[in-house]
Each structure stands twice: as C-alpha cells, then as structure tokens.
Amino acid sequence: MKKFNYLLLAGLLGLTATVKAATIASPLVWGGSTQNSAKCYLYNASASVVTLGARQIKGHDGSVLPSSGNCTSTLLPGGVCELSATPVVTTAYLCRFVVSSAAAIRGSFELRGNTIIQRADLR
C-alpha cells in the first residue's frame, strides 16, 4: 500500500509539472513566381519569458524548409525574433511556432520578392 501511495503521489506531481504548449501559425500564403524570401517574426507582448519549441516554415505539402534566424529556445518579455528561409516559387507556405503560452504572442509571416508580396498574421 505504501508503494502505491508513492506512485500516486509521483503521478500527481508529474501532472502538475506538465506544461501545456500552444501552436501559433499563419495560414498558407503564396507569393507567386517572384517570391524569393520567407520571413516569420514573433513578438512577446507579455511580462514573462516564453519558451519556444518547434519553429518552422512549411510548404503546403508538409515539407519543412531549412531556416535560419535568431529565434532560440526562449523569447524574453518584449522580445522579437525572426526566422528566414528561401522558398520554392511554385509552393505555398506557412509559418508555425510551438510556444509555452500564446496569450500575448504576436507574429507575422511574409513572402517577399523585391517587396513584401504576401503577409499573414500568426494566430
């Protein structure tokens, strides 16, 4: 019985330590034959540090583009980070972040040529 109580306690403590992640993403956008750059921006409008999980720019077929930028595993209060990739001109794309809390996170996704061709908010 004592072993059962310890297991029950360990299970309850494990449940309270679980963090619920949220996904914030743009809809699919396509910039046409002149799209040559994909940029995703994330802003933390909260007073707390937000943990970032997956950070992706994905094609309509689910493929993930190799990307670069300054989005690390955390985003400080008032912080902004950026993710960039080079898109294929025949594909629509979306930007996706997994965050510890999406309540005060704002973001936008842009497909660019010489200027911004398409822009969408992350929701």
Q: What is the pLDDT of residues 56-97, one digit of tens each?
A: 999 999 999 999 999 999 999 999 999 999 999 889 999 999
- pLDDT attached to residue 8: 39
Residue 76 phi, psi dihedral angles, 5° rounding: -70, 160
Does 2 map to a domain? no
Q: How many CA atoms lie within 13 A of 94 on its CB side?
A: 14
Instruction: Report yes or no: 37 and 109 within 8 Å, Cβ to Cβ.
Output: no
Does 13 map to a domain? no
Does 8 map to a domain? no
Does 6 map to a domain? no
* Average pLDDT estimate for 33-61: 96
CATH number at residue 94: 2.60.40.2430
Which token pair is 22? 């949220």
**How many domains does the chain divide into?**
1
Q: Is the pLDDT reported for residue 5 higher than 80?
A: no
| pLDDT tens digit sequence for 86-123 | 999 889 999 999 999 999 999 999 999 999 999 999 99
Does 67 map to a domain? yes
Does 10 map to a domain? no
Residue 78 phi, psi dihedral angles, 5° rounding: 75, 5
Does 1 map to a domain? no
Q: How many CA atoms lie within 13 A of 45 on its CB side?
A: 7
- pLDDT attached to residue 19: 58
Does 4 map to a domain? no
pTM tops 0.85:
no
The domain of 45 spans 20-121
